[in-house]
Structure 1
Amino acid sequence: MEIKPQAVVIPRETGHLEQGKYGPVYPRTPACYGFTIIANVKPGRAGAIREYGYTLAKALEEDPHLLAPLKLHYLRWVLFDDDTRFMYQGIFDTDFDKYTEDAIALFSKAGVSTAFENLEGFPEDWRTNPEAFVRFVREHHCPSFIEYGEYPYVTADEVKKALRIKGALSEMLDQLQ
């Protein structure tokens, strides 16, 4: 089975897209689902965002499966414009509505905060008010207009399965030598 890289252009107008619980359901692309948020950092809070990054990295060392419910491929956090603006970019396997609800449930269950609390306009009641959380994300979402996948439409679970098979084959071949 040959896998050919693909790209999809995402429409600027979303009125014709299927409407989910929280707004338009952006199409699954060769890069799966995802969103990019750009927001202003509360004055003096860039350090707290960086520290939260270290906290998250440490939590993942202790529990590598901590974020598994989110079906993530990648997360990218960027502070820019002299640490006054923040970009959150996530690529994942579920649609926006499910990802958002899963994120709220995950952070609420773990009793942890989110880096977003350091962003201007982020709702203080985000744990109990998913609509406010979603509204913030939608208002700060910068939709991509093209997405490319070297291995299109492959889920994170499929990638992990392929890597396990590769590891098992390598181990088997090593034992034959």
Structure 2
Amino acid sequence: MAADGEVWARPAATALPEEGYFQLERGRYGPIYPRTPACYGFSIIAKVKAGREGAVRAYGKEIENAVAANPEVLAPLRLHYLRWQLFDVGSGLHFQYQGIFDTDFDKYTEDAVKLFSQTGITTVFTNLEGFPEDWQTNPEAFIAFVRAHQCPSFLEYGEYPYVTADEIKKALRLKSAFAGMLDQMQ
């Protein structure tokens, strides 16, 4: 049993209602989705513009290269994980963006627009139908697109619930330092 203050020590799951929240609370751009054992996150599904599959895949490589060149490039987003998928459901190619992060939905999307503007990296969403052309100067339009294509989850699980990415990194640095100290003692 986890001691008080150690909620991370006991796996947890939360079943969410269809709308994605238990009680309607309004943020700057719509409902506030709750922090769950998996922290915060969202899944976006949108149709890919005709002929843009190659550009979507190339953008994945662009992100890989940006992170290789500067491992902290995405740090402002407070990400745990990203997963991107392309699939055809019979009505054309669709893109799914799944992200788990440590901030609420509004802050994450605001930080994403800011990050794209500061780094010169564009967004993969420019390859999706209905994405606003003026997204860089109109963060509200960017956020409206993301909200319109958000597919709330109905179950979220955390093996180490409510732990931030920074806390995980700190624990791993401590583990490494401790292992190094033990190695020197032998």
**Which TM-score bucket, shorter chain as reference?**
over 0.9
**Preserved contact between residue 10 and residue 27 of structure 1 (Cα < 8 Å):** no
Alignment of 1:41-120 (within 5 A): 41-81=48-88, 84-120=93-129
Unmatched 5+ stretches in structure 1: none
Shift of 1:16: 3.3
Aligned residues: CA RMSD: 1.4
Shift of 1:15: 8.4
Query: Aligned partners of 1:25 and 1:33: how far apart in 2?
Result: 10
* Map of 2:5 onto structure 1: none
Alignment of 1:113-152 (within 5 A): 113-152=122-161
How many residue pairs end up in the alignment?
177
**Preserved contact between residue 8 and residue 29 of structure 1 (Cα < 8 Å):** yes
TM-score by length of 2: 0.92
Q: 1:35 aligns with which of 18, 32, 42?
A: 42
Query: Aligned partners of 1:132 and 1:109: how far apart in 2?
Result: 18
Query: Aligned partners of 1:158 and 1:16: how far apart in 2?
Result: 28
Secondary structure at the counterpart of residue 61 of structure 2: helix
* CA-to-aligned-CA distance 1:137-176 (integer Å, 9 cap, x gap): 1111100011000000000000000000011011111111
Shift of 1:11: 2.0
2:37 alignment partner AA: P
Q: 1:17 aligns with which of 17, 21, 24?
A: 24
Query: Aligned partners of 1:64 and 1:147: how far apart in 2?
Result: 28
Q: 2:12 aligns with which of 6, 9, 16?
A: 6
**Preserved contact between residue 15 and residue 24 of structure 1 (Cα < 8 Å):** no
* Map of 1:157 onto structure 2: 166
* Map of 2:6 onto structure 1: none
**Preserved contact between residue 43 and residue 150 of structure 2 (Cα < 8 Å):** yes
* Map of 1:175 onto structure 2: 184
Unmatched 5+ stretches in structure 2: 3-8
**Preserved contact between residue 87 and residue 93 of structure 2 (Cα < 8 Å):** yes
Segment drifting more, 90-99 vs 3-12: 3-12
Secondary structure at the counterpart of residue 116 of structure 1: helix
Q: Percent identity?
A: 67
Query: Aligned partners of 1:113 and 1:12: how far apart in 2?
Result: 32
